[in-house]
Amino acid sequence: MIYLFIGIGGIVGALIRYYVGLMFVNQTLSGFPISTLIVNLLGCFALGWFTTRVATRKIMRPEIISGLGTGLIGSFTTFSTFSADALLLMQENRLGTAFTYVSLSLFGGIIFSFAGHWLGEVRHSRVKGDVS
């Protein structure tokens, strides 16, 4: 049964990813892979929040947690496209752009994951009445 939830989440996440990519087709910023960066940063934030706010509190069935975390968010983000974009920039000898893209993806991903985690903690604390 868990495979069904992960599969459905994967389909939905992949479709959302595709739609976001279409939204930014004409806004590549001189070949900068902005849609992949945005998707991955949003996914880092969402997974940081989700694992802190939802998954650790076990307020959902494990199948739904896996479907949302692994399925939906996992298929929404795209490490393979990030890697291919970075390689293409390097092959085009756009090393500064490649370095910027990789740095923003890496450090931005960590920052966005932290922000999602922090927001999940703050919201959880407010629900419990620990923070005014």
Q: Which residues contribute to the annotated binding site for Na(+)?
A: 74, 77
Task: Map residue 131 onto helix, strand or coil.
Answer: coil
Write out the two tokens for 73: 């968010």
Q: Nearest 5°: phi and psi at 108?
A: -65, -40
Annotated binding site: 74, 77
Q: Is the dihedral of CA 8, 9, 14, 19 positive or negative?
A: positive
